[in-house]
Amino acid sequence: MNDPHIHVESGGLRYRAAQRNLLASTFGLISELPAEVTTACGVRVPFVMTSAEPNAVTCLPCRKHAAEQHRRFADQVAELGPAPSSPLSDLDATRAAAAHRDLARRFDAPP
């Protein structure tokens, strides 16, 4: 398959980056990136053909999926706020929700 589009990896928001950063910060380990991943539109592509940056993603179904994911996450953060034991404040939760709403808006815009 010769797909010229840049996609969004399926799974959570920035799943691979978060997983990799957790391993690196906790154990000093850096995991190898997979050769291929499944995208939000359901195809398998080389990992290097994915991005979490709205201006880089050219696959329209992946853009739509990412926008929905960011909107959903923003709504959850705004509704739930920080956990009671979290050092984050309500202001931090509001800023996080606003940042994800901005990402959703950018994914909704044409590439």
Domain contains 45: yes
| DSSP labels, 37-48 | EEBTTS-EEEGG
In this structure, is residue 1 part of a structural domain? no
The model carries a pTM of 0.76
Please determine, for residue 24, whether its predicted confidence score (pLDDT) is greater than 90: no
Lowest mean pLDDT among 11-15, 38-42, 44-48, 64-68: 11-15
- Write out the residue range of the structural domain in which residue 29 sits: 15-108
In total, how many domains does the chain have?
1
Residue 69 lies in a domain: yes
How far is residue 104's CA from residue 96's CA, in Å, rounded to a whole number? 12
Is 79 inside any structural domain? yes
Cα distance from N-terminal residue to C-terminal residue, the chain:
22
Instruction: Please report whether residue 6 resides in a domain.
Output: no
Q: Is it the case that residue 97 has pLDDT exceeding 80? A: yes
Q: Is the pLDDT of residue 6 over 90?
A: yes
Hey, CA dihedral for 66, 72, 78, 82, is it positive or negative? negative
